[in-house]
Amino acid sequence: MSTAVRAEWTKLRTVPSTGWLLLTAVVLTVGVSTLETVVVKCPASCSDDTTKVSLTGVLVGQAAVAVLAVLVVTGEYSSGMIRITLTAVPRRITALAAKAIVLTGVVLATGAIAVAGSVLAGRYILPGNGFTGAHGSLALSLGAGPTLRAAAGSVLYLALVALLSLGLATALRDSGASITVLLGLLYIVPLLTDLGTLDPRWEHRLQEWGPMTAGLAIQATRNLKSLPIGPWPGLGVLALWAAGALLAGGLLLRLRDA
């Protein structure tokens, strides 16, 4: 297993697109979060969830993480390298597990940087916008329990999205198809539930079971009772999606030729 992990790590770090994609993920996350914290001001909306405001960028940065995860698998298929990989590591589940381990490590590290950057931006910009603790607003501080939970949860969220993409890509084997299905899964559900026209039962179901809508519940630190699903259960729903995708991918990997 350790040789497989070392091999996967070599593959990942020697491909130039990995670096660019991780950089894009960090830039997008921190950039969108900073944009959001700069424009949200206290006299207009003091009761906002400041932690969720400063972590908004995660919903854009996850796209770059998803692309990285998809390319980790489909890059091998498109270049024909998969035959060599599966010859070198005949136990295919080990090969998939090694990919998953390396990918998770890399995404956790990058996610930590991105989330830390977002929270720092919030920490320094929000008090200037009026969120000083007065008028019922929350000052952002990483020491506070819920904020720490939201930040750590967002890093986990990115890792789970990467694992979901990995499983899906292993099942579909084609980069275009995998990324299309994945982005559809992630972004179409909030598009439908955001505009408030659906039957409330369907809206609730979609928000509870959609991978992105449920997973991002981890970022909420206020009004937890009014959320469709709690923070940790929401992340658990995303974990279920990732587990299901990895299961499907692993099964297909074992049953198919290559």
Partner 1 sequence: MSTGTITPYRSEQRPGRDDFPHLLRSEWTKFRTVRGWLIAMVAAVLLSALAVVAIASAANGKQNPAANPTVAIGPDGEAVTDNFYFVHQPLTGNGSITVRVTSLTDAEQPGQPPFGNVSQPWAKAGIILKASSKPGSAYAAVMATPGHGVRMQYNYTHDLAGLSGTPSAASPRWLRLTRSGDTITGYDSTDGTHWTKIGTVTLAGLPPAVKAGLFAASPQYVQGGQGFANNSGPGGIDTRITATFDHVSLRDGRPGGTWTAGRIGFPTGPEGRFHCTASGPQQPGHYHGKCAPGAVPLSGSIIAGSGGTYTVTQNGGEIGPYVTNVDPLGTVLKGTAVGLLAVIALGALFITAEYRRGLIRTTFAASPRRGRVLAAKAIVIGSVTFVAGLIGAAIALPIAERKLHSGGWASSVFPIWSLTSGRGLQIVVGTAGLLAVAAILALSAGAVLRRSAGAITAVVVLLIVPLILGVVLPQGPADWLLRLTPAAAFGLQQGTPQYSQVMHICQPYNGCFPLSPWNGFLVACAWAAAALGLAAYLLRRRDV
Contact call for residues 115 and 58 (beta carbons, < 8 A): yes
**Does position 23 bind partner 1 by CB under 8 A?**
no
Cα 228 from Cα 245, distance rounded (Å): 24
Residue 48 gets which letter from DSSP?
S
Residue 81 in contact with partner 1, rule: CB under 8 A: no
Which residue's CB is nearer to partner 1, number 40 or number 156? 40
Of the chain, the end-to-end C-alpha distance in Å amounts to: 20
Q: How far is the CB of 6 from partner 1 (least distance, A)?
A: 25
Q: How many whole angstroms separate alpha carbon 164 and alpha carbon 159?
A: 9
Among 4, 12, 55, 63, binds partner 1 (CB under 8 A): 63
Options 14, 80, 145, 195; binder of partner 1; rule CB under 8 A = 195
Under the binding rule (CB under 8 A), the answer on residue 32 touching partner 1 is yes
Q: Which one, of 70, 84, 65, lies nearest residue 22 by Cα?
A: 65
The correct pick among 101, 198, 240, 243 for binding partner 1 (CB under 8 A) is 198
Q: Does 115 bind partner 1 (CB under 8 A)?
A: no
4 or 189, CB closer to partner 1? 189
State residue 133 phi and psi, 5-degree precision: 110, -15
Nearer to partner 1, 3 or 17 (CB): 17
Least distance to partner 1, CB of residue 39, Å: 4
165, 66 in Cβ contact below 8 A?
Answer: yes
Taking the complex as a whole, how short is the minimal distance between the CB of residue 137 and partner 1, in angstroms?
11
* One-letter identity of residue 87: T
Nearer to partner 1, 89 or 241 (CB): 241
Query: Contacting partner 1 (CB under 8 A), which of 18, 29, 74, 137?
Result: 74
Identify which of 188, 197, 193, 221 has the alpha carbon closest to the alpha carbon of residue 207.
193
Q: Is 192 in the site for partner 1 (CB under 8 A)?
A: yes
Tell how far CA 187 is from the center of its chain.
12
Are 215 and 157 in contact by the 8 Å Cβ rule? The answer is: yes
* Contact indicator for 105, 65 with CB cutoff of 8 Å: no
139 binds partner 1 (CB under 8 A): no
Task: Report the residue from 39, 84, 247, 258 that binds partner 1 according to the rule CB under 8 A.
Answer: 39
User: How far is it, in rounded angstroms, from Cα 205 to Cα 23?
Assistant: 35
66 binds partner 1 (CB under 8 A): yes
Smallest gap from Cβ 46 to partner 1, in A, equals: 9
**Residue 16 is a binding residue for partner 1 (CB under 8 A):** no
In the region spanning residues 201 to 240, those forming contacts with partner 1, defined by CB under 8 A, are 202
